[in-house]
């Protein structure tokens, strides 16, 4: 903690620090919250150590997030919203840089804490999930005229499921670095028997049927902040993966996380299922903001995208388990395997309810 206090001294914050602690439940970066007092007024800031194992080029990453947040501020103003509350406000270092790199090469960035807000790690009502759909749908709508070619690809092939399968999953099985493949035989079979699913959206892109848009790409429920009093979704956060992608990635990933009747790492997989009321509520919220620009092929693949994003995420957890847990943060040894099993149980349940999911989309 001493170290982080020294790091923070490099940022342009007002007042004296009164508190600093670790915060949040993301799987990638290390997040801290710091409180500052200035003439009796308390301001809070988020400081993040950027995971440079995941984000190889921090200059490009920070260029992206500054460009996206400046663009969003103008959009929010034009739509009579409050840009201070509805988008992240990054704070430069005392040297005017977008992030601070210490002598060990570790990288830190800071932004204002969104006050009077909360994040949710699970859904407790369809209404709150629908609100997150509105927020992610609006985010995508606001960025629809962002100059996509100016964005760096912060993680190449992020949702290229074919690439994930061929270049990450299969080599992890083959190399079996930690001798875990035997233990995961069932799970490996689960993925390999769904190889053709992995190429469905990639093929539709190649055929020119699915348009590339600027998307968030990591639309977990805890990547949106809700108003403490009204429960309205106010601010989309975690902008590290904003890149050209498919609208379907954002839709599918939200369903994967938020419409699961259990948390993503619940071991009790017999309880894992898709909650169709939540599915419907999210689809309604997301489509009412982003849907007007969608083509028929996007609409036709919404239900499938939920299954694909769940399969992809499960495959990534399994790959990481086989590789010895080098990507996602884990809390215990089998955490990634438990997460993978949970995701595959959800895929299975979605497969049995795919007709119902498609009906819901058709009727919306």
113 binds, among ligand GN1, Mg ion, ligand ADP, none (CB under 5 to 8 A by kind): ligand ADP
How many whole angstroms separate alpha carbon 150 and alpha carbon 139? 18
What residue has token string 């490996």? 188
Sites for ligand ADP among residues 6-35 (CB under 6 A): 23-29, 31
Is residue 218 within the footprint of ligand GN1 (CB under 6 A)?
A: yes
Nearest CB to Mg ion, comparing residues 86 and 238? 238
* Shortest Cβ 150–Mg ion spacing (Å): 24
Is residue 88 within the footprint of ligand ADP (CB under 6 A)?
A: yes
* Shortest Cβ 357–Mg ion spacing (Å): 26
Sites for ligand ADP among residues 97-116 (CB under 6 A): 111, 113-114
Residue nearest to ligand GN1 (CB): 27
Sites for ligand GN1 among residues 241-280 (CB under 6 A): 241, 264
* Shortest Cβ 172–ligand GN1 spacing (Å): 16
314 binds, among ligand ADP, ligand GN1, Mg ion, none (CB under 5 to 8 A by kind): none
What residue has token string 């790091």? 7
Is residue 27 within the footprint of ligand GN1 (CB under 6 A)?
A: yes
Residues in the interface with ligand ADP (CB under 6 A) total 20
Among 33, 54, 67, 354, binds ligand GN1 (CB under 6 A): 54
Q: How many CB atoms lie within 10 A of CB 291?
A: 19
Nearest CB to Mg ion, comparing residues 238 and 253? 238
Q: Which of these, 329, 337, 362, lies nearest to 30 by C-alpha position?
A: 329
- Per-residue binder mask for ligand ADP (CB under 6 A), 30-69, x = binder: -x--------------x-----------------------
* Shortest Cβ 237–Mg ion spacing (Å): 7
* Shortest Cβ 29–ligand ADP spacing (Å): 4
- Per-residue binder mask for ligand ADP (CB under 6 A), 211-250, x = binder: -----------xx-x-----------xx------------
HSE value, Cβ hemisphere, 13 Å, CA-based, for 29: 24
Is residue 305 within the footprint of ligand GN1 (CB under 6 A)?
A: no
Among 86, 168, 187, 238, binds ligand GN1 (CB under 6 A): 238
Residues in the interface with ligand GN1 (CB under 6 A) total 12
* Shortest Cβ 8–ligand ADP spacing (Å): 15
* Shortest Cβ 238–ligand GN1 spacing (Å): 5
Q: What is the 3-state secondary structure (H, E, C) of the chain?
A: CHHHHHHHCCECCCCEEEEEEECCCCCCCEEEEEEEEECCEEEEEEEEECCCCCCCCHHHHHHHHHHHHHHHHHHHHHCCCCHHHHCCCEECECCCCCCEECCCCCEEEEEECCCCEECCCCCCCHHHHHHHHHHHHHHHHHHHHCCHHHCCCCCCCCCCHHHHHHHHHHHHHHHCCCCCCCCCHHHHHHHHCCHHHHHHHHHHHHCCCCCCEEECCCCCHHHEEEECCCCCEEEECCHHHCEEECHHHHHHHHHHHHCECCCCCCCCHHHCCECHHHHHHHHHHHHHHHHHHCCHHHHHCHHHHHHHHHHHHHHHHHHHHHHCCCCCCCCCCCHHHHHHHHHHHHHHHHHHCHHHHHHHHHHC
Residues that bind ligand GN1 (CB under 6 A): 26-28, 54, 218, 220, 223, 238, 240-241, 264, 313
């Amino acid at each position: 903690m001493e170290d982080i206090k020294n790091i923070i001294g490099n940022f342009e914050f007002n007042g004296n620090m009164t508190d600093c602690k670790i915060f949040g439940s993301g799987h990638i970066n290390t997040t801290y919250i710091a409180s500052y007092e200035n003439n009796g007024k308390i301001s809070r800031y988020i400081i993040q150590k950027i995971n440079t194992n995941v984000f190889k080029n921090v200059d490009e990453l920070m260029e992206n997030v500054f460009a996206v947040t400046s663009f969003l501020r103008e959009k929010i103003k034009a739509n009579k919203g409050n840009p201070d509350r509805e988008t992240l406000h990054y704070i430069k270092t005392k040297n005017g840089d977008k992030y601070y790199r210490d002598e060990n090469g570790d990288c830190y960035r800071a932004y204002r804490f969104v006050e009077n807000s909360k994040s949710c790690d699970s859904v407790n009502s369809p209404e709150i999930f629908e609100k997150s759909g509105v927020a992610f749908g609006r985010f995508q709508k606001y960025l629809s005229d962002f100059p996509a070619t100016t964005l760096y690809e912060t993680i190449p092939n992020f949702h290229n499921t074919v690439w994930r399968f061929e270049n990450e999953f299969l080599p992890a099985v083959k190399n079996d670095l930690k001798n875990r493949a035997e233990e995961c035989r069932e799970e490996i079979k689960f993925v390999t028997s769904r190889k053709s699913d992995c190429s469905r959206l990639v093929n539709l892109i190649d055929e020119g049927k699915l348009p590339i848009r600027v998307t968030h790409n990591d639309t977990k429920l805890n990547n949106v902040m809700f108003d403490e009093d009204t429960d309205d979704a106010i601010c989309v956060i975690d902008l590290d993966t904003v890149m050209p992608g498919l609208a379907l990635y954002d839709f599918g990933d939200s369903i994967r996380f938020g419409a699961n009747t259990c948390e993503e790492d619940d071991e009790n997989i017999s309880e894992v299922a898709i909650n169709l009321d939540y599915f419907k509520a999210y689809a309604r919220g997301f489509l009412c903001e982003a849907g007007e620009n969608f083509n028929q092929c996007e609409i036709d693949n919404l239900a499938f995208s939920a299954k694909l994003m769940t399969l992809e995420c499960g495959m990534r957890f399994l790959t990481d388990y086989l590789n010895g847990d080098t990507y996602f943060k884990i809390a215990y040894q089998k955490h990634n395997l438990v997460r993978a099993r949970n995701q595959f149980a959800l895929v299975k349940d979605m497969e049995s309810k795919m007709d119902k999911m498609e009906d819901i989309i058709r009727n919306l």
